[in-house]
Amino acid sequence: MSESKNTEFLALSQEDLDRLKRETPHDELLYDLAELFKVFGDSTRIRILYALLESELCVGDMAQLLGLTPTACSHQLRVLKNSKLVRFRREGKIMFYSLADDHVRSILALGMEHIVE
């Protein structure tokens, strides 16, 4: 199919198409965004994030609260930490976890708002 036939079905002008191409983030950045959303694709990780909305928790308390083994909880926390969604602080031998920042709160709130509409 020639280019002239393809363009006859376009609603946008070439100028608008060029502008949208310039404003669209690079593929690498979109890939990183998709990877971030994959982290939110696990219900156990979502449960952990929701538990951390209220307060900072150690692995043991979080595991007991969510009905997980400490090992499973630690594994999911590592994924969340690597994605910069949670942070931790050490107090002696105990690690306490909390949400990384208000962006995480906003993502959870917007997602919940979207599904309950």
Q: pLDDT for 54-108, tens place per residue?
A: 999 999 999 999 999 999 999 999 999 999 999 999 999 999 999 999 999 999 9
| Two tokens, residue 71 | 């090992």
Please report, for the domain that includes residue 74, its CATH number.
1.10.10.10
User: Does residue 53 fall inside a structural domain?
Assistant: yes
Q: Please, are residues 81 and 73 in contact by the beta-carbon 8 Å criterion? A: no
Q: Is the pLDDT of residue 5 over 90?
A: no
**Can you give the pLDDT at residue 13?**
87
| Two tokens, residue 78 | 């590592």
Q: Give me the sheet containing 94-99, strands edge to edge.
A: 57-58, 94-99, 86-91
**Can you give the pLDDT at residue 4?**
47
94: containing domain = 15-116
Q: Is the pLDDT of residue 7 over 90?
A: no
Sequence-ordered list of residues with C-beta below 8 angstroms from that of 66, at least 6 positions apart, any chain? 44, 47, 48, 51, 73
How many independent structural domains does the chain possess?
A: 1
User: Does residue 109 fall inside a structural domain?
Assistant: yes
User: Does residue 3 fall inside a structural domain?
Assistant: no
